[in-house]
Amino acid sequence: MTSVADAVKEMQAKFNPAAAAGLDLVFGFNITDEDKQYSLIVKDGTCDIQEGENPDANCTLVLDSETLKGIVSGETDGMQAFMGGKLRVEGDMMLSMKLSELFPS
């Protein structure tokens, strides 16, 4: 994976619509070293990724590009990244746990 945009596209490819049935959530991704933000909108079994910040985000993950790429590729465990201080969650922390169901490795 070469860029954050590639990692985000990879996430969309791994999306599990069955896990998103009945959900209406917005996840924000703040990529600190590239000063980029993405919004991942999960609604009724669909997934839409948009560039930019979404003020309606239920949960925002703050991390650098290497951590994001590692989590998406499966080389980095999201919980370990969180415990190691490489990932910060703003908003509803419990929702961040849903990401592993929505985007299985």
User: pLDDT tens across 43-66, in order?
Assistant: 999 999 999 999 999 999 999 999
Q: Is the pLDDT of residue 69 over 90?
A: yes
Tell me the average pLDDT across 9-30: 94
Across the chain, mean pLDDT equals: 93
Q: For every residue of 52-92, which 3-state class applies, written as one string?
A: CCCCCCCEEEEECHHHHHHHHHCCCCHHHHHHCCCEEEEEC
Instruction: Write the pLDDT tens digit of every residue in 92-103.
Output: 999 998 998 999
Q: What share of the chain is helix, strand, coil (3-state, %, to 5)?
A: 35, 30, 35
